[in-house]
Amino acid sequence: MKKTRTAVNICGKEYVMAGFESEEYIHRVAICVDRKMADLKEQYVNLNPNTLSVLTAINVADDLLKLHDEFDALSKENEALVEQIKKLKIEMSLGNDDQTSNVSSSTTKSNPKRFDGYK
């Protein structure tokens, strides 16, 4: 894999970032960090750059953990729904078998009289 290097701007300072992702992706990451830092800088005007960086990292980690928790909850809900669908499919299949057997038994039980012609 080829390593990508690109210049990005975060909080008014230029950084050269490198990684195995596309240049577009690296810029998306930088924009995300820049926005989070700008939001925090707006809320806490007198923060020094080091504290702002740590606070940004904490907020990003918080967002990430909440997304992980939400993903886990949705995965469990999805598993439960998949199981429910499987059960419903089985019930539908059994219901169709019962209906088919009811139809076939009713036709065999009621020997319809044949018309033999005129006597």
Banded pLDDT at 95 (limits 50, 70, 90)? confident
Proportion of the chain above pLDDT 90, given as a percent? 76
Answer yes or no: is pLDDT of 44 > 90: yes
Count CB neighbours of 106 within 10 A.
Answer: 9
Identify the three-state secondary structure at position 6. Answer: strand
pLDDT for 111 = 56
User: Distance between CA 38 and CA 53 in Å, rounded?
Assistant: 11
Answer yes or no: is pLDDT of 100 > 90: no
Q: Which two tokens stand for residue 17?
A: 């970032």
pLDDT for 66 = 98
Question: If 0-12 CB within 10 Å is exposed, 13-18 middle and 19+ buried, where does residue 70 land?
Answer: exposed
Scan for tokens 């950084």, then name that residue: 15
Answer yes or no: is pLDDT of 110 > 90: no
